[in-house]
């Protein structure tokens, strides 16, 4: 016998309409802007750029100040001494008018006078010698007249060389310095050398 006491089930009604949410994702902890390394890098670069521009402005202003002060000093000097300015210009033009062989003779004379400590006559002879520079008498004369050296100091240097390497007496050194077959210094230059030989 069948049991009819079985009641049909009622469908379950949803109590409220709530939207279905996706499963919760773990959101990354976002660092604030000032905690990021690249933010600080940008700040440092900006600071250096600003500092560099400031330094460049200071340097240019210092340079402009110096150049303007130099210009004003030059202009005041030119105003005070027009004769000196004219003389300087004449010297410059004279230098540019010097022939090439004269300039070469002067360079060679500088080597003889300031490296080898030769006398004025010795330099002249070396410049004009057929075994030496083979310069014209005029070029050699120009060279010895314009070379910047101290002939007394050259005589002293030669005298000390004779004293130290050859153990010569002061009188023998004087003879060697003034000899026409020797160093060809003037008697005054030789006297200076002997006087300061033991300084």
Residues 108-151 have pLDDT tens digits of 999 999 999 999 999 999 999 988 889 999 999 999 999 999 99
CA-to-CA separations, 167 to 115, 159, 163, in angstroms, rounded: 22, 10, 5
pTM of the shown model: 0.52
How far apart CA 88 and CA 83 sit, in angstroms, is 9
Quickly state the pLDDT bin for 15 (edges 50, 70, 90): low
């Amino acid at each position: 016998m069948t049991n009819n006491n079985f009641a049909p089930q009622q469908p379950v009604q949803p109590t409220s309409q709530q939207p279905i949410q996706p499963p919760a994702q773990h959101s990354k902890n976002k660092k604030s802007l000032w905690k990021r390394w690249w933010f600080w890098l940008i700040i440092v670069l900006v600071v250096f750029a600003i500092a560099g521009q400031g330094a460049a402005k200071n340097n240019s202003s210092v340079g402009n100040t110096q150049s303007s002060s130099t210009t004003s000093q030059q202009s005041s000097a030119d105003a005070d001494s027009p004769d000196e300015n004219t003389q300087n210009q004449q010297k410059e033009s004279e230098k540019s008018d010097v022939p090439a062989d004269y300039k070469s003779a002067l360079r060679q004379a500088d080597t003889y006078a300031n490296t080898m400590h030769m006398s004025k006559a010795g330099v002249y002879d070396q410049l004009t010698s057929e075994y030496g520079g083979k310069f014209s008498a005029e070029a050699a004369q120009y060279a010895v007249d314009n070379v910047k050296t101290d002939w007394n100091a050259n005589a002293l240097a030669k005298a000390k060389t004779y004293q130290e390497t050859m153990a010569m007496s002061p009188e023998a050194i004087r003879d060697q310095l003034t000899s026409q077959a020797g160093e060809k210094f003037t008697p005054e230059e030789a006297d200076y050398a002997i006087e300061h030989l033991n300084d």
